[in-house]
Amino acid sequence: MRLVLASSSPRRRDLLTRIGVVPDRVVAPDIDETPEPREVPRDYALRLATQKAQAVARDAGEAVLAGDTTIALGRRILPPAGTEDVQRALLRALSGRRHHALSAVCAIAPDGTVRTRLADTIVAFKPLSAAEIDAYVACGEGLGKAGGYAIQGRAEAFVRFLHGSHSGVVGLPLFETRALLLASGVSFA
């Protein structure tokens, strides 16, 4: 069976290789990622993962896999860091606080069955000084990322506590992804 990865993220592709999965095709889905009014972060992440999977055309015998990682501070959905100013504001908001990294996965089996899973990881950052925030923003790795940071890089030094899926915070919870792929009939090493 062929697998289509509905993602533009090189991290998701890299994470899949850790569990022995190499997609046959990679297609970047084009969806509107604007939160709906009063949408809670958990529902938002699941909706986006599902819409991404459904946005990609699949041929007969193909399964589709998509994911979304959302950073939530309480009921507030934090945006990706589109600019350095936004990134600074996000890091100030996360400084010294716990937040949730919600990593949703959606798999569509060749028969059209849609399955979703969600990994909710609690991440606590140490209090960050203005100098630490400026240095992290200057390194460039968190720009464009959910919540303004990349846990697989320098931001990992800010994490004083993590409960849940480290790979989910990076972009694809491998335990949940493996289970979805197996349930969808995708076999791998």
Residue that the structure tokens 């699949």 belong to: 58
Q: Is 167 exposed, middle or buried (0-12, 13-18, 19+ CB in 10 A)?
A: buried
Sequence-separated (6 or more) residues with CB below 8 Å from residue 181: 3, 21, 63, 65, 107, 188
Q: Is 29 exposed, middle or buried (0-12, 13-18, 19+ CB in 10 A)?
A: middle
Active site residue 134: no
Which of helix, strand or coil describes residue 14?
Answer: helix
Closest CA to 81 of 139, 33, 129, 141: 141
Which of helix, strand or coil describes residue 90?
Answer: helix
Which of 30, 32, 68, 120 is labelled catalytic?
Answer: 68
Closest CA to 137 of 99, 82, 98, 79: 82
CB 65 within 8 A of CB 53: yes
Give the tokens for residue 88: 């600074």
Give catalytic residue positions. 68
